Chain A
Amino acid sequence: MNKSGSRGFLSKWLSVISNLFRAKSVEYTYVELRELENVFTLIILGSFIGLPSPPTNISLRLLPYMAREIVVSSSVSARLDDMLAEMAGLFEVS
């Protein structure tokens, strides 16, 4: 392999590593974001499942804008049984 070929290989390799880290960091941030949105929904709508919740008026005023958060929370609750496996996968625990 000549000099320019090895430079090209190195640059490709670095790009792969960089994309890998980028994908991993997005994955971590997405999980964190999803969990924060889930916690936000649980706090606002907690009274439905017996959690202490903010004064009714705060919940009612935010309710119309909570569509995405409710969708996220529903998907989290549907996969609660599998959450440990997901966390293990995320942190590469085998």
Chain B
Amino acid sequence: MSKELDFKVFFFIGKGGVGKTTCAATFALQVAKSKRTLIVSLDPAHNLGDVLGINLGREPARVTGNLHALEVDFEEMIIKHLKDLTEKIKDMYGYLRVLNLDKYVDVLRHSPGIEEYATLDKIVDILKYNVSKKGYDVIIFDTPPTGLTLRMMALPSISAIWVDKLMKLREAILDRRRIVERITGEKIKAVVGGRELEVPAERGRDPIYRELMKMRDEVSLVNSVIKNSEVTTVILVVNPEVLPIIEAKRAFDSLSKLGIKVKYLIVNKVMSLSSARVPEEFNLRLKQEEEALALIKKYFSNLRVIKVPFFIEEPKGVDKLDILNPYLTPLVNGALG
């Protein structure tokens, strides 16, 4: 493990409504007893603040002594992402300032994939910050429902392939430019928008190559974190119901293909009741739960399975979340080793 990655990252992944946030928040509270911890909600429909019982924003807020939490503001992030881009365009083509470029920003925000990228951008920001400032020992990401999370987790691998191919093509272009310059003894010039510009032939002077290198570094950082099982632990959360389990199995397969290891499975809201003690109407429900638990054994035999019971009172607020502690302690001990 690289020396600069001396922190741990946890992703809680699962279908909407299974209790990811509750499990992640309880886990964070326990970990924060001994480690500087940050919990980040990446779900566009945030409820981390509701679960912890405090108001959260885009900046880390102190929850307990060692625990900070934030909810990513997606609208603001997408606007910032596109504002940076517009500023770059304005810098490059200053003579176009007379045009109101901002009006195009609204269109760009609907680009396919922009939400996944905004999420990934935020993860990159947090990881970069933590690598440089070493602010936290543990970072916990409470993720959006499975579909968006899987697309987001796949992005670094897909981007790495694209960036690699584009860099090779760009190198071929720059090689040809240097050959032309060497033979003619002159710099290549281009007329763009009536202005004569010198065309860069060196890798360090070509803004496109520089931007590609920057992207490669960012993608490598994310890949080096999420694919490193010493740094990152992925925790799947399900309910003892067939559909979330099938979805978790698909997520497990997709993550395995990406080289991301899942180590733990939390089965949340297990009824664990004897059929003799419940009304007859619940028997079918209990039978379905048994089937679901059997399915978990079949699909996830190589994961550590942690069962969290169903609580009559919804665990909400820092004090009430304590009720989950005994069940998540094995996860805390195992994950922090």
Does A36 lie within 8 Å of B85, measured CB to CB? no
Interface residue? B99 (CB, 8 A): no
Contacts of B191 in A (CB 8 A): 71
Interface residue? B113 (CB, 8 A): yes
Does B169 lie within 8 Å of A40, measured CB to CB? yes
Does A58 lie within 8 Å of B159, measured CB to CB? yes
Does A56 lie within 8 Å of B112, measured CB to CB? yes
Contacts of A22 in B (CB 8 A): 183
Given contacts A33-B176, A36-B173, A64-B85, contact A56 B183 (CB under 8 A): no
Once bound together, how far apart are the Cα atoms of A7 and B173, in whole Å? 41
Chain A interface residue count, Cβ-Cβ cutoff 8 angstroms? 28
Interface residue? A93 (CB, 8 A): no
Once bound together, how far apart are the Cα atoms of A20 and B199, in whole Å? 25
Within A34-71, which residues are at the interface with B (CB < 8 Å)? 36-37, 39-40, 43-44, 54-58, 60-68, 71
Contacts of A62 in B (CB 8 A): 166, 208, 211-212
Contacts of A57 in B (CB 8 A): 113-114, 117, 121, 159
Q: Could you tell me the distance in whole angstroms from the C-beta of B249 to the nearest C-beta in chain A?
A: 26
Least CB separation from B189: chain A residue: A68
- Give the interface SS of chain B, mostly helix, strand, loop or mixed: helix
Within B107-145, which residues are at the interface with A (CB < 8 Å)? 108, 111-114, 117, 121
In this complex, the member of B117, B176, B199 whose beta carbon has the largest number of chain A beta carbons within 10 angstroms is: B176
Which of B112, B121, B177, B193 meets A33, CB within 8 Å? B177
Interface residue? A26 (CB, 8 A): yes
Which of B92, B159, B177 meets A55, CB within 8 Å? B159
Contacts of B111 in A (CB 8 A): 56, 60
Interface residue? A15 (CB, 8 A): no
Interface residue? B170 (CB, 8 A): yes
Within B128-176, which residues are at the interface with A (CB < 8 Å)? 155, 158-159, 162-163, 166, 169-170, 172-173, 176
Does A25 lie within 8 Å of B183, measured CB to CB? yes
Interface residue? B197 (CB, 8 A): yes
Does A56 lie within 8 Å of B117, measured CB to CB? yes
Does B170 lie within 8 Å of A63, measured CB to CB? no
Q: Could you tell me the distance in whole angstroms from the C-beta of A71 to the nearest C-beta in chain B?
A: 6
Contacts of A44 in B (CB 8 A): 166
Interface residue? A77 (CB, 8 A): no
Q: Could you tell me the distance in whole angstroms from the C-beta of B112 to the nearest C-beta in chain A?
A: 6
Q: Could you tell me the distance in whole angstroms from the C-beta of A70 to the nearest C-beta in chain B?
A: 9
Contacts of B278 in A (CB 8 A): none
Does B163 lie within 8 Å of A63, measured CB to CB? no
Once bound together, how far apart are the Cα atoms of A25 and B176, in whole Å? 11
In addition to A40-B169, A55-B162, 7 A-B residue pairs with Cβ atoms within 8 Å of each other are: A54-B159, A55-B117, A57-B121, A57-B159, A58-B166, A61-B85, A67-B193
Q: Please give the residue numbers on chain A whose beta carbons come within 8 Å of chain B beta carbons, in ascending order.
A: 22, 25-26, 29-30, 32-33, 36-37, 39-40, 43-44, 54-58, 60-68, 71
Report 22 cross-chain contacts, Cβ distance below 8 Å, ordered by A residue.
A29-B180, A32-B176, A33-B177, A36-B176, A37-B173, A54-B159, A54-B162, A55-B158, A56-B113, A57-B114, A57-B159, A58-B159, A58-B166, A61-B215, A64-B89, A64-B92, A65-B207, A65-B211, A67-B92, A67-B197, A68-B199, A71-B191
